[in-house]
Chains A and B, each alone.
Chain A
Amino acid sequence: DTAVSQTPKYLVTQMGNDKSIKCEQNLGHDTMYWYKQDSKKFLKIMFSYNNKELIINETVPNRFSPKSPDKAHLNLHINSLELGDSAVYFCASSPTRISTDTQYFGPGTRLTVL
């Protein structure tokens, strides 16, 4: 059973399109995250939700909008895609929001914007 799953695994699209990435965790965790890993391999946090409430909202263009319909799901919608959005997007979850909790990552969604 996959603990943190993401769909799709690969996404190739044209500039200007709108796309969504879905994430689900079956671990019963309260907290979920979206990270972006760019070509330089840095993983940077974008958003975090705790029990469906947004708790971390980094400096991310407002073309990116997360949505958490329930605590097991966190989706990411991206409007008007740009070339610079090409990256691997990882979803993660942790039991709670405290700093010592292990974060469990999904397999990633490789987004390529042409």
Chain B
Amino acid sequence: RKEVEQDPGPFNVPEGATVAFNCTYSNSASQSFFWYRQDCRKEPKLLMSVYSSGNEDGRFTAQLNRASQYISLLIRDSKLSDSATYLCVVNPRGWGKLQFGAGTQVVVTP
């Protein structure tokens, strides 16, 4: 079983719509959680950290469910510029040894 699993997609989303997807992780002792965004052939960039109580950053909402060991990302009012691969990232220990999922591709269409 992979340590971090994501639905690869693609999720085809009309502009203005809402899209949500999850990621599951295997290590119940994981301490830190993030969503990174990676555009085609570019480097990953932090989208947002995921906090236990859930958090929002503009149109993006992240949730953590420790009991079921998954995190989620919801994008509201999708823009064309939201088209990217969203990487679920988990840190199982107190060090910077991040574990990446393979990513969920989102394609926002006009």
Contact = CB atoms under 8 A, between A and B. Distances in A.
Interface residues of B, number: 22
Nearest to B49: A100
A68 interface: no
19 contacts: A31-B96, A40-B102, A41-B85, A41-B103, A42-B100, A43-B44, A94-B96, A98-B94, A98-B96, A99-B31, A99-B94, A99-B96, A100-B49, A100-B91, A101-B96, A102-B34, A105-B44, A108-B41, A108-B43
Interface of B: 31-32, 34, 41-46, 49, 85, 87, 91, 93-98, 100, 102-103
Among all A-B residue pairs, the 9 with the closest Cβ atoms: A105-B43, A43-B100, A99-B91, A99-B32, A102-B46, A41-B102, A99-B94, A97-B96, A100-B32
